[in-house]
Each structure stands twice: as structure tokens, then as C-alpha cells.
Structure 1
């Protein structure tokens, strides 16, 4: 009788042992992390796609998006959301490290992940579409069609993952910002963790996409993108791409005004890299104004307008630089403060060029209006560089001059200049 009672208990123990072994075996898998810091650009889509491919190949338990972004391209953001939705591997959004932000497009990406987490002292929100005003301030975008589409998108993502749709809507309509504690309290995120390791402990046992995550003790691996994607990520930063465009154009100005220095090649290279970084999505009006300004500045270097053409050209370059600032919504979905930083980064080089041009024009004006100085050669001393019999060369004030001597002058002897006839000096042996 006792033996019969012991059999179920023994079988239960064996079953629990098998479950423990299975759980430990599953926990030996890895969780892949991908760095999504910086502006969301086309390179971000490619990096996430490559990371998901790696996660599938390695049979990773989950993929963590490390978010610290001011936002970025709206088209790129929707592509990231599509990749997350289609992924069979759970995708975890994690605003990390402490002090990080996920604003605008970054907030939408976090809401669209399968699990959302934040490190302490991080911020999400500022998702109201804004654009720079002519005075340098920011004004909300009043295109209700686009704004309503974004509201519908973020609400649907929140609803899909059981998150607070009201808060999601207010991110867009009221520029709501939340820290980690507030976001968890309002059911915008599920977890607050100081480190990825702590996050792994918290999500252990969570069921997502028909998978129970056994992540306690899992191996955390950081995805290293291929070098071509890293280079594209660097180039596709809108500030860097814009600066490359401007540097390339300024180098062409210098190269065309001083041929043979190699500045033309450098300018064309920088221009090409800037176009690649911007994805050839360039404001045609900005390109026209900058090229027109380049032409006017070059014309100034070969004319006598005393700065009129240069000033007009500089104005064109500055206005074109302003148009280069990637603040057009919905193409770029970033907060106003980041837009102002980008504007300053692209306009400042033009202002520096303006100061340089003003200084150069001032110096040219001084030279043009300065009194004519008559070269004084007669009676000056020179040195024969070779035997003058009667013609040869002499060294005068560090320069080589053709010379014709009265009589014969041996190499190295000092001569006295009698007169100058164009580029030729008439000399005679110095009297001893």
C-alpha cells in the first residue's frame, strides 16, 4: 500500500527534474542586443534586418533594441515596426543606459516592441510633430491628416501589446514626456531595469509570440554590424551628411579658384559621400542656391565688384544651407531642440565662410585702393648666378632675374643694377 503511494510521488519528482533540465538547457541560449542609438536613418533599418537574420541563424531567445534616440525618419520608423511585427523572435525595446531618451520616432518604436523596458532616469515622449519657424523657434505641424495617421499608428501598437492607448495618443497630441517610473505606472512599459542582465531576470518566464522566455542566465551578445553598415550609419546621420555636402561645395570653390591643389578632388569626394548619406533625397532648391552662390563667389574672385557678387553668393549659400536642414515633416520626425542643433551645425560653417570672405574682400579692397608703389631697382645690388657674357641670371631679393651686363661678369660676383627693362635687368660689375 505504501509502495503504491510512493510511485506517484516518485514520478512527479522525475517529471519536475526533466522540466528543470529542459529549462536549464533553454537558458543556455543567447539574447542578441542591437545598438539603435542616434538618429533613425535608412541604415537603422538595414542594421535591424541584419541583426534579426543573425538572431534567427543563432536561434537566439530574443532580440533587444538598445534605444537612445532623438527620433529620425518616419518612413524608416514604419519599416522598423514592420520588421518587429514580422519577426518570429521576440523583440524587446529597452531605453538604455541611464540618462538615455527615446523621443518622437523612438517612442513609437518602443511602443511597437513585444516587451518595453526602460532604465531608471530615462525619458520617452516628445512625439508631437514640430518644425522650425523662420525665427528659429518651433511650431506644431497642423497637417491633421498626417498627425491623425501617427496617432492611429501609435494607438494601434499600444492596443496590440496591451499598453495605455491614452498615454500613447498624448505623446503625439500633447508632447507628453514620461520617466521610467511614470511610464510603468501608466502601463506604457512593462519593466524597469538598470542593466540588461537585470532585465533578463525580470522577463524570465514571460510568454511572447507563442514562446516562453527562459532568459535567466542567458548569454547576452552585442550584435556587431558589418563595416559597410557602420559606414552607412555614419554617413546617413543628417548632420554629418549635410556637413559633407557643404564642405564639398566649399572645397570646390577653393579648388576652382586655386587649381592644382587637389581641393577639387576632395570636394567632389565629400559631395558624393554627402549625397550617399542623404540617400540622394536632396532638396533641389537648396542645391541650386548653393551652386549659384558658388558661381557668384568664383565670379567675385575674377572681377572688380568689390564684394557685391561675393555677398550675393554668400546669401545664396546660407539660404541653401538652411534648406538643407532635415526638419521637413513627416520625412524627419525629431523634437524641436534636435532640429535647432542640426540647423546650427549646418548654418555655422556658412557663417564662418562669410566672415572669411568678408576679411578677404577687405584685404583685396585695401590692395586695390592702396597707392601705387614704384619698384626701385636702380643702384640696388644683385649677385651673378652664372657667368654674364653678357647675358645670364642674377639673384635679386631672393628672386631670379634675367640680366644683361656691360662687359663680362664672373659667377658669384656682385653687380649693380643700372635699370630694368620689363623682366630683364641691365647690370654692371660692382666697382671695388
Structure 2
């Protein structure tokens, strides 16, 4: 009897343990996950790659939703359109969220927000200013070409229509540079939610149907997407300011390496230019590159061959013009506010002009030295003092008017002998042993100017 009781007790304990394990697994299975990917700073080709990777990550790991936090002044139009297409193509519900408080999602950021399945903003955030502009020497001008404006407006209003949002406001973001705060955007039907943080947003979204799926986000685990090392590095060099500065530094490093070989500056220059080109997505103006290359060639010619500075000045003009043209501000490849584009031009043009002025100063000094007569006067016939043995094929140094000169002679000259300077062969003096030393003390001029 006791044996049977023990057997029943063991079976009961086993079933209880098994039930608790299954219950734990069921609870764990019910715990949903939400992936958060951050888009901040300018939208570049790498932003497109980062979002594609995050979407694939969310699809493969069965995430309940993907939240895109937006804090951007704008960016490349091609990548913005690609991001819109990725959002529409994935089965994962994509939530656009302008966050944190006090930030913005201007121009391209606004277009992305309108394209998401659910649009939300944190309090005190702003969206808008989506009208494209071009930057000229006299300032900035809005793009008013109907072909461009109509295409962007139609794409944006169709995205708003697809998600049941205010199409009129969506169009005015582009045609009138409309700006809206979070509460006004909610009242106008541009967004669906205003949330103080991600937890608050997840609580509000719980039970909402998106893409034929009812969201279960209340209390969901929040996972923040971390890009791979490769994408993180690409994100740094694809910043328009960083990529433009890499191109600029590469050009001047190659100039330095050619004029002063042996320090590896040429290698650094090639690497910097390669990284700069990769960072810009190889979308570089060929004319600008030609100007930079021509400028480098002219500067090298100025350094290597005597001249009057004409080649050097022309080279500087070419490099400055080419460097400014390399700044990626042309529309529609770059869809950013005019203020950001002007800052970008100043960031690249200022060091270019400063370095250019430095080279102008060097060329001026070289030109001045070329025109200046030698300060040491006529050497021929002057006396000097041998500082070491000279002759028999051996060169040595002599002292003339406080300066050390390398010298050679067909005579055998000992240290401290007086010599006469016969001629100057480059930087080497041709001397002979002094025949008459009676007046040598006054003629050597040791230590005199």
C-alpha cells in the first residue's frame, strides 16, 4: 500500500512539473517583441541599407512590429523613395514615430512618416518643410519645375490616401513648406497617435489592426536594432560632411605626397578619396573630379618646375572650384533644407580656401626667393678656411663669412689651411690652396656678414 502511494505521488509530481513547463513555454510564446530602429541625422544610402537589414531582422524573428524613430533634417530622395517601397512591401507592421520630444522630421523625414502603416509623434516635435530647394552662389531657391514638384506631391498624397491620412496637408508639406506640431498634426489627420515615449505608444497601439494583423503590443519586449560594424562604419563615412572632407583631405594628401615623397601621404590620400567616394555612393560630378585632378596636376607642375606662380594659382582655382562642386547638394539627388546645404558648403569650402591661401603664400615666397639676389655676394676670389682635409678625391667643408660650404680641390689641403675660391659648382665650391698668405687674415672674413 505504501509503495502504491509513493508511485501515485511521483506520478502527480511529474505531471505537475510537466504542466508548469508547458505553461511557462506558453507564457513565453505569448510574450511579443517589437523592434525599434533609429533614423537620425541625414538620410543617406546607408540609411536605406540599415532599414532593409532591420526589416529582414524583424521578418525572420517574427517581431510583432517595427518602429522607426525619426529625428532627421532630410536626405537623399532616391533613398527616401526606396525606404517608402520597403515599408509597403514588408508584411511586418511599420510604425513611424517622431521621437524624442523636441525633435523634428523635416523634408524626407516627413515623407517617410506619411508612408508608414501607423504615424505617431512625441509631444513638441515638428514635421514639414518638404519643398525641395537648389543652392546657388546667391543663396537658395525653391524648385518650382512642375515635373519634379508634381511627381513628389503625387507620390506623397497617394501614400497618405493609402493610409487614410490628410491628402491636402500632405501636398502642402511640399508646395507650401507646411509645418505642423504633434497636436495639430493629430487634429488634421496627418498622424494617428501622440505618445510621450515608446512604452506609451505600444500601450495605445494594442489591439489595432494593421496589415490584416491585430497588434499585441501592450507590455511587449522592446528590442533596439544595432547595425553591424560594416553598416555603422558606412554610416559615419556616408555623412555628407564627412565624405566631402575625406575627398578634400585625400586631394591635399596626394599633393603633399608628390611634393614631399617618402612619408606615405600619397597612400593616405588614395585611401581617403576611396572612402569619400564610397561614402557618397559614387554619385560624384565628373566635371568636379576633372577640376580637382587638373588642379593637382598644375600644383605639382608648379612645385617641380621653375615658373612665375601661374600654374600654382590656376591649380588652386581648379581645386577650390572642384571641391565646392563635389559637395552633394544638387536636387533631386539630395533632398535637404537649404540651411543644411549651405552649412555643408561652408564646411567644405572654408578649409579649402584656407589651405588654398596657404599655398598662395608658399608660391609667393618661392617667387620672391627666385627674384631675390643672393645675400652672400660674389664668392669668386674670396678666401676661406679649411675645416677638414680636402683633395685626392675627398671633399670637405670650408668656412666663409660665418657659413659652412662643401668644397673640393685638386690640391692637397690640410685642416686650417687658407684657400681661395675659384668657382661655384651648384652648392659645392671649387678651391685651391692659398699661394700668398700675407693678406689672408683680412680676406677670409670669418664671422663677418
TM-score, scaled relative to structure 1: 0.85
Which aligned pairs between 1:79-228 and structure 2 lie closer than 5 A?
79-135=82-138, 137-228=139-230
Kept after mapping to 2: 8 A contact 1:69/1:101: yes
SS of 1:64's equivalent?
strand
Compare CA radii of gyration and give the structure with the larger one.
Answer: 2
Kept after mapping to 1: 8 A contact 2:398/2:407: no
Structure 1's unaligned 5+ residue stretches are 1-20
Partner Cα distance (2:127, 2:374) in 1: 68
Shift of 1:407: 6.6
Kept after mapping to 1: 8 A contact 2:50/2:231: yes
Residues 292-331 of structure 1: CA deviation (Å, up to 9, x unaligned): 2222222222344433222222222222222212122111
Paired position in structure 2 for 1:269 = 271
Partner Cα distance (2:110, 2:393) in 1: 87
Kept after mapping to 2: 8 A contact 1:158/1:168: yes
Partner Cα distance (1:379, 1:163) in 2: 97
Shift of 1:224: 1.1
Distance 1:353 1:110, change over 3 A: same
Partner Cα distance (1:197, 1:380) in 2: 90
Asked if residue 325 in structure 1 is aligned to residue 327 in structure 2, the reply is: yes
Kept after mapping to 1: 8 A contact 2:101/2:124: yes
Shift of 1:27: 6.0
Kept after mapping to 2: 8 A contact 1:74/1:333: yes
Residues 132-171 of structure 1: CA deviation (Å, up to 9, x unaligned): 1221x11111221111111011111111111111111100
Paired position in structure 1 for 2:300 = 298
Kept after mapping to 1: 8 A contact 2:390/2:409: no
Kept after mapping to 2: 8 A contact 1:249/1:294: yes
Partner Cα distance (2:395, 2:290) in 1: 54
Paired position in structure 1 for 2:419 = 418
Q: CA RMSD in A?
A: 2.9
Kept after mapping to 2: 8 A contact 1:300/1:310: yes
Asked if residue 309 in structure 1 is aligned to residue 306 in structure 2, the reply is: no
Structure 2's unaligned 5+ residue stretches are 1-23, 435-439, 442-449
Partner Cα distance (2:26, 2:97) in 1: 25
Paired position in structure 2 for 1:259 = 261
Asked if residue 230 in structure 1 is aligned to residue 232 in structure 2, the reply is: yes
SS of 1:71's equivalent?
coil
Distance 1:372 1:399, change over 3 A: closer
Paired position in structure 2 for 1:3 = none
Distance 1:132 1:182, change over 3 A: same
SS of 2:159's equivalent?
helix
SS of 2:227's equivalent?
coil
Segment of structure 1 superposing worse, 104-113 or 326-335: 326-335
Distance 1:119 1:394, change over 3 A: same
Partner Cα distance (1:56, 1:227) in 2: 21
Asked if residue 278 in structure 1 is aligned to residue 280 in structure 2, the reply is: yes
Residues 37-79 of structure 1: CA deviation (Å, up to 9, x unaligned): 1221221111111111111222111111121112112111111
Partner Cα distance (1:119, 1:22) in 2: 36
Asked if residue 43 in structure 1 is aligned to residue 33 in structure 2, the reply is: no
Kept after mapping to 2: 8 A contact 1:64/1:91: yes
TM-score, scaled relative to structure 2: 0.82
Kept after mapping to 1: 8 A contact 2:128/2:173: yes
Shift of 1:173: 0.3
Residues 207-253 of structure 1: CA deviation (Å, up to 9, x unaligned): 21122222222111111111111222222222222221222112222
Shift of 1:174: 0.2
Paired position in structure 2 for 1:343 = 345
SS of 1:67's equivalent?
strand
Kept after mapping to 2: 8 A contact 1:389/1:408: no
Kept after mapping to 1: 8 A contact 2:119/2:193: yes
Residues 315-360 of structure 1: CA deviation (Å, up to 9, x unaligned): 2222222221212211111111111111112212221122112211
SS of 1:194's equivalent?
coil
Kept after mapping to 2: 8 A contact 1:390/1:408: no
Kept after mapping to 2: 8 A contact 1:379/1:416: no
For these two proteins, the number of residue pairs brought into alignment is 405
Partner Cα distance (2:247, 2:33) in 1: 42
Partner Cα distance (2:208, 2:98) in 1: 19
Distance 1:427 1:126, change over 3 A: farther
